[in-house]
């Protein structure tokens, strides 16, 4: 297998299907905003715990922001934006992922056919429940969840050895286990959507496919991790720029240009978050195309192996049948013996019988066995 071909095919599909990138753009932006909010909230809690931030300062900033938004008449807009983001992240995410997988399968299977995104959206709702169960299964093992677990445990137990002696080993074991979970469950969405399998069956089939192609899957997994890491670093840098500007801006709070500085930082933040969302959307389409192509190749390899096994079994069966048909049947000699008794006389002792050899014939052994079987059946 040439891994560069899979990368090239996945990237070609991503660049030629801009509809999918823009389709994933809004959920990607919602994910980045949620990521920023969770990390900022965890940082603020840690800051108040360790004295980096004044106690109650974060809540004060939140309430001031809400009052400012309410005073400008934009509170309804913020609420609607939050509801749409929650809808995209927690309700429509399985539907969106199913649509993405179906679209990629359509593009790979029929590259010359006109692609219709609306048609795939209509089909995607059929896989909503199965993918919802899949995400519910994996959410405790996501990298973001592990970061939040670590921050929360450290914040509550940093004053004792409990964190280092109990929680940290558990978190490290959970981190290693989460890598194995994501590695062996990598093909589950494709079994759920493309093969319409149930959750448990898709889980076992994914593990079986990874196990049978362990070396190839591990190489693909590492390659994809490097690509994802590059994009994640870019996203962190993009998001970190406006955060840094806001932090620097606090030192110029007394300046006459402070309001302009905050507006500039806000607009720059929106632009950079939009750019990070676009990069994340590209990565999502590319990674799904990459793993779907690997899924196709591994399935074709399994079909070739099964066909060769079936051909080998049929060939062996034909050889056994031909040998059985060609083997000559063994002949058995049968002697017919006639016992003569005078009529009207009582039955004499068997030892006084006069045995007269009769005709000697040869019959196949199979016929003799069948005759014996018939006689045994009659006696029963």
Q: Write the pLDDT tens digit of every residue in 269-325.
A: 788 888 888 888 998 999 999 999 999 999 988 878 777 666 666 776 666 566 555
Q: Is the pLDDT higher at 69 or at 330?
A: 69
Mean per-residue pLDDT, 193-205: 93
pLDDT of res. 104: 94
Token duo for residue 231:
């994009």
Q: Which residues neighbour 343 within 8 Å (Cβ) at sequence distance 6 or greater?
A: none
336-371 per-position pLDDT tens digit = 445 555 556 565 555 554 444 444 444 454 554 455
Token duo for residue 252:
């110029």
**Window from 3-7, 184-188, 320-324 with minimum mean pLDDT:** 320-324
Give the confidence band of 197 by pLDDT, cuts at 50, 70, 90: very high
Q: How far apart are CA 331 and CA 26, in angstroms?
A: 85
Token duo for residue 103:
């679209």
Give the confidence band of 204 by pLDDT, cuts at 50, 70, 90: very high
Q: Is 296 exposed, middle or buried (0-12, 13-18, 19+ CB in 10 A)?
A: middle
Mean per-residue pLDDT, 163-176: 87
Mean per-residue pLDDT, 77-100: 81
Give the confidence band of 203 by pLDDT, cuts at 50, 70, 90: very high
Judge whether residue 378 has pLDDT over 90: no
Q: Map residue 359 onto helix, strand or coil.
A: strand
pLDDT of res. 332: 47
Would you mind telling me the total number of residues written for the chain in this entry? 380
Please tell me the pTM assigned to this model. 0.73
Cβ-contact 14, 291 below 8 angstroms: no
Mean per-residue pLDDT, 127-156: 86
pLDDT of res. 287: 92
Cβ-contact 49, 153 below 8 angstroms: no
**Window from 50-64, 128-142, 206-220, 234-248 with minimum mean pLDDT:** 234-248
Strand-strand pairing, 331-339 and 355-364:
antiparallel
Give the confidence band of 184 by pLDDT, cuts at 50, 70, 90: very high
pLDDT of res. 255: 65
Q: What is the largest CA-CA distance in the chain?
A: 147
Judge whether residue 259 has pLDDT over 80: no
Count the neighbouring beta carbons within 10 Å of the beta carbon of residue 238.
Answer: 19
Mean per-residue pLDDT, 226-241: 69
Concatenated DSSP letters of 304-357: HHHHHHHHHHHHHHHHHHHHHHHSPPPEEEEEEEEE---TTSPP--GGG--EEE
Give the confidence band of 376 by pLDDT, cuts at 50, 70, 90: low
**Window from 117-131, 220-234, 244-258, 264-278 with minimum mean pLDDT:** 244-258
Cβ-contact 298, 209 below 8 angstroms: yes
Q: Is the pLDDT higher at 316 or at 16?
A: 16
Q: Is the pLDDT higher at 13 or at 80?
A: 13
Of 288, 270, 285, 289, nearest in space to 32 by CA = 270
Q: How far apart are CA 316 and CA 292, in angstroms?
A: 36
């Amino acid at each position: 297998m040439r891994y560069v071909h899979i990368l090239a095919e996945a990237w070609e599909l991503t660049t030629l299907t801009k509809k999918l990138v823009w389709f994933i753009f809004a959920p990607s932006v919602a994910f980045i905003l949620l990521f920023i909010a969770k990390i900022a909230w965890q940082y603020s809690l840690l800051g108040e715990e360790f004295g980096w931030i004044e106690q109650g300062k974060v809540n004060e900033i939140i309430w001031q922001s809400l009052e400012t938004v309410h005073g400008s008449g934009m509170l309804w807009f913020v609420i609607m934006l939050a509801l749409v983001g929650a809808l995209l992240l927690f309700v429509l995410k399985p539907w969106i992922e199913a649509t993405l997988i179906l679209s990629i399968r359509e593009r790979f299977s029929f590259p010359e056919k006109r692609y219709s995104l609306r048609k795939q959206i209509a089909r995607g709702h059929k896989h909503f429940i199965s993918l919802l169960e899949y995400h519910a299964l994996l959410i405790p093992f996501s990298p973001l969840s592990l970061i939040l677990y670590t921050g929360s445990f450290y914040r509550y137990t940093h004053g004792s050895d409990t964190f280092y002696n109990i929680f940290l080993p558990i978190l490290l074991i959970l981190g290693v286990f989460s890598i194995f979970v994501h590695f062996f469950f990598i093909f589950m969405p494709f079994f759920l959507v493309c093969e319409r399998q149930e959750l448990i069956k898709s889980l076992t089939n994914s593990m079986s496919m990874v196990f049978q192609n362990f070396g190839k899957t591990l190489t693909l997994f590492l390659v994809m991790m490097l690509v994802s890491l590059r994009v994640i670093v870019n996203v962190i840098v993009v998001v970190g720029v406006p955060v840094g500007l806001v932090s620097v801006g606090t030192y110029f709070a007394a300046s006459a240009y402070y309001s302009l500085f905050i507006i500039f930082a806000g607009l720059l933040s929106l632009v950079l978050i939009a750019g990070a969302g676009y990069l994340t959307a590209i990565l999502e389409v590319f990674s799904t195309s990459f793993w779907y192509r690997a899924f196709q190749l591994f399935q074709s390899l399994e079909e070739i192996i099964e066909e060769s096994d079936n051909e080998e079994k049929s060939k062996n069966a034909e050889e056994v049948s031909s040998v059985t048909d060609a083997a000559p049947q063994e002949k058995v000699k049968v002697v017919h013996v006639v016992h003569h008794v005078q009529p009207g006389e009582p039955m004499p002792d068997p030892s006084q019988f006069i045995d007269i050899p009769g005709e000697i014939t040869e019959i196949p052994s199979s016929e003799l066995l069948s005759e014996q079987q018939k006689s045994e059946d009659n006696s029963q």
